[in-house]
Structure 1
Amino acid sequence: MKYKLGDFVRFVDEKMEGFVTRIIDDQMIGVTGEDEFEIPVLASKVTTVHGYEPAGSKNAVADDKPMQIGEFEKKGIYIGIIADAKANSVVHFYLVNNTSFQLLAALTTEKQQAFKGEFAEAIAPKSTAKIYSAQLADLQLWPRFILNVIYNTKQNIEPPAPLIINEKFKAKDFSTSKKPIPLLKEPGWMIRLDEPEMVIDAQKLKESFFKSPEEKTVLDKPTSEVDLHIEKLRDDYQFLQSSEILNIQLAHFHKTLDAGIVHQLSDMVFIHGAGNGTLRHELQKVLSKHPKVQTFMDARKEKFGYGATKVILK
């Protein structure tokens, strides 16, 4: 298969083009166009359109100037995962080498006892390399990653022991917010492979067992309009099941409602969207029994339609 996820292709027999968003088998691929519909097509019926490169696809250029021993970075190896700039249903995995070592890296994937070598290259100091691509929707089907990394330098510095990572990614690995990934300068999920040694602070450990009972959680004052759409609450919403999404939305609703009551707001608007009405029903079930709620109603229909509920607090 000469095509990879994220490749930009054009149909040979039709006036269509799009991005490869699925590798179906050795002959078939899935191509998604501007209408966001994925079309199965024979790989022989499309051709690569040159000139498009996914975000972060170029390795950072290593600095040629001699590095002083005091500047030598021994830590900073990550897996960076970013969405394709054009085909959002595809994510790319990068090995990020933010150290001063040259890395000799090899990635093998395993799925149902079938092993496949995916990547094997030397990665220069302060640079990145794309090692794998995958479909977001297929998270549960992603293979197990077996990554071996060996450190190398010509300087008089002892290299650390090789890294051996044997991991199958899960949805919880993407539960944190996106953050800028070193060298790639693109927002995404970052997993550190060379965790710094843990140093236990005995004093802080002791303090954690003897917290003053007067210490209370401070609730920040919420805005009068609270958006409960899942994409406003979590960056990893593509990986979540419907039940998980509902629980997250309800938890945020309870938290902001409590904060509004603490800060004595007179009213609040919760934007839940129209959808199938499940979230709206759950909110109104809570509001109908809440002792601090005077009444509730559909918020301004000219602005929200039936997608928001206004709450009048006591």
Structure 2
Amino acid sequence: MFKIGDYVRFIDEKREGYITKEIDEATVGVTDSDGFEIPVSIGNLTYVHGHHSNVDTANNAMPSTQVDEKFVEDGVYLAVAEDNKASVVAHFTLVNRTSYQLLLSLKTEKAGIYKGEFAGVIQPKGSVQVYTANLGDLDNWPSFTFQTLFFSSGNVKPKASLQLEKRFKSKDFSGAKNQITEVNKYGWLIRLDEPALVIDAQKLKESFFNVKEDKPKVVKPQQEVDLHIERLRDDHHFLSQAEILNAQVAQFQKKLDAAIVHQMPSIVFIHGVGNGTLRDQIHKTISKHPQVRTFMDARKEKFGYGATEVVFKV
């Protein structure tokens, strides 16, 4: 039986991809290397040799146990990284940076229906892929329940088990991607065994009587400011058109104000051509701005009509 995350090949044509959606009992959505999700009958699919589901590989290919000079108590993470062949496909890898052997189970829930996704052992300083999802379909992701037991044969005090329920939102992937050594990819690293926040009542009390007013420092902007959304937000895949426009306009306003503070003679905003909505918003704002002397299309030989130069009053 096929499941989300399986890597499959079409029987009647030369096409491969990941199963990223269960449409009904006889049909699934397969996302290919171009990022397109194609509805296809399960009778027209076959597994690709060398690719296996998460559960099938749970107890195979486990890394050998490593001996630590110092026993590490904490450090259980979930690495989320895009697939090399299809960027819309995200693989979830459980990363164990502790000295414990982990007994892990992962269960999902959607519309009251529970599904076991993974059960297996993760060795100390090891990692195992546990789930695959479609990044573009984040709003329809199920909720995740991670349950973990910590085991060590050494002279170590027993550690309490971990149970974490997680529903992912776009803000979980809004930060910059970082290199994750265990998967040898750039992605997002989410800690699952985050220690509970302890509030120091005395320090909290003192903070009310020692308020420091830090004046914000305005950074001088570059001469050319690129407003394309992929330059501004790593999570742009999850944003609606309205959210994208709001983010671009906010960045434009921020850099415009900073240019005025630093008394720059001019600044160029690269907004692209597109449907002209962002360009119109920018022109509407600067046409009424008291500090703007004039504006024009910037370097047509380089940007065409995709950039605007703003010239300020002396």
The answer for the alignment partner of 2:145 in structure 1 is 146
The answer for the alignment partner of 2:186 in structure 1 is 187
User: Cα distance 1:227–1:59, how it changes in 2: closer, same or farther (>3 A)?
Assistant: farther
Alignment of 1:98-177 (within 5 A): 98-177=97-176
1:285 aligned counterpart, secondary structure: helix
Q: Which amino acid aligns with 1:181?
A: I
* More off after superposition, 79-88 vs 177-186: 177-186
* More off after superposition, 34-43 vs 230-239: 34-43
CA RMSD of aligned residues (A): 2.6
Which whole-Å CA distance do the structure 2 matches of 1:131 and 1:34 have between them?
A: 21
The answer for the alignment partner of 1:305 in structure 2 is 304
Query: TM-score if structure 1 supplies the norm length?
Result: 0.88
The answer for the alignment partner of 1:61 in structure 2 is 63
| Residues 256-283 of structure 1: per-residue CA shift (max 9 Å, x gap) | 1122122222111111111121111111
Q: Does 1:228 align with 2:227?
A: yes
Which whole-Å CA distance do the structure 2 matches of 1:96 and 1:182 have between them?
A: 10
Q: Which amino acid aligns with 2:235?
A: D
Which whole-Å CA distance do the structure 2 matches of 1:6 and 1:240 have between them?
A: 27
| Residues 279-307 of structure 1: per-residue CA shift (max 9 Å, x gap) | 11111121112222111112222211221
* Alpha-carbon shift at residue 236 of structure 1 (Å): 0.9
Q: Does 1:210 align with 2:201?
A: no
Contact kept? 2:20, 2:132, Cα under 8 Å: no
User: Cα distance 1:302–1:208, how it changes in 2: closer, same or farther (>3 A)?
Assistant: farther
* More off after superposition, 170-179 vs 76-85: 170-179
Which whole-Å CA distance do the structure 2 matches of 1:32 and 1:15 have between them?
A: 14
Which whole-Å CA distance do the structure 2 matches of 1:109 and 1:186 have between them?
A: 25
Contact kept? 2:107, 2:144, Cα under 8 Å: yes
The answer for the alignment partner of 1:290 in structure 2 is 289
Contact kept? 1:62, 1:126, Cα under 8 Å: no
The answer for the alignment partner of 2:195 in structure 1 is 196
Contact kept? 1:5, 1:23, Cα under 8 Å: no
User: Cα distance 1:209–1:265, how it changes in 2: closer, same or farther (>3 A)?
Assistant: farther
Alignment of 1:80-99 (within 5 A): 80-99=79-98
Query: TM-score if structure 2 supplies the norm length?
Result: 0.88
Alignment length, in residue pairs?
A: 307
Contact kept? 1:6, 1:90, Cα under 8 Å: no
The answer for the alignment partner of 2:44 in structure 1 is 45
Q: Which amino acid aligns with 2:68?
A: M
Which whole-Å CA distance do the structure 1 matches of 2:80 and 2:218 have between them?
A: 33
The answer for the alignment partner of 2:14 in structure 1 is 15
User: Cα distance 1:129–1:244, how it changes in 2: closer, same or farther (>3 A)?
Assistant: same
Contact kept? 2:4, 2:133, Cα under 8 Å: no
* More off after superposition, 191-200 vs 303-312: 191-200
Contact kept? 2:33, 2:85, Cα under 8 Å: no
User: Cα distance 1:52–1:272, how it changes in 2: closer, same or farther (>3 A)?
Assistant: farther
User: Cα distance 1:228–1:278, how it changes in 2: closer, same or farther (>3 A)?
Assistant: same
Contact kept? 1:81, 1:94, Cα under 8 Å: yes
* Alpha-carbon shift at residue 204 of structure 1 (Å): 8.8
User: Cα distance 1:34–1:87, how it changes in 2: closer, same or farther (>3 A)?
Assistant: closer
The answer for the alignment partner of 1:280 in structure 2 is 279
Which whole-Å CA distance do the structure 2 matches of 1:59 and 1:291 have between them?
A: 66
User: Cα distance 1:16–1:146, how it changes in 2: closer, same or farther (>3 A)?
Assistant: closer
* Alpha-carbon shift at residue 190 of structure 1 (Å): 1.9
The share of aligned pairs that are identical, in percent, is 49
Contact kept? 1:21, 1:87, Cα under 8 Å: no
Which whole-Å CA distance do the structure 1 matches of 2:81 and 2:194 have between them?
A: 21
Which whole-Å CA distance do the structure 1 matches of 2:61 and 2:245 have between them?
A: 40
The answer for the alignment partner of 1:2 in structure 2 is 2
* More off after superposition, 267-276 vs 18-27: 18-27
User: Cα distance 1:295–1:22, how it changes in 2: closer, same or farther (>3 A)?
Assistant: same
Q: Does 1:243 align with 2:246?
A: no
User: Cα distance 1:307–1:21, how it changes in 2: closer, same or farther (>3 A)?
Assistant: farther
* Alpha-carbon shift at residue 182 of structure 1 (Å): 4.9
Contact kept? 1:180, 1:186, Cα under 8 Å: yes
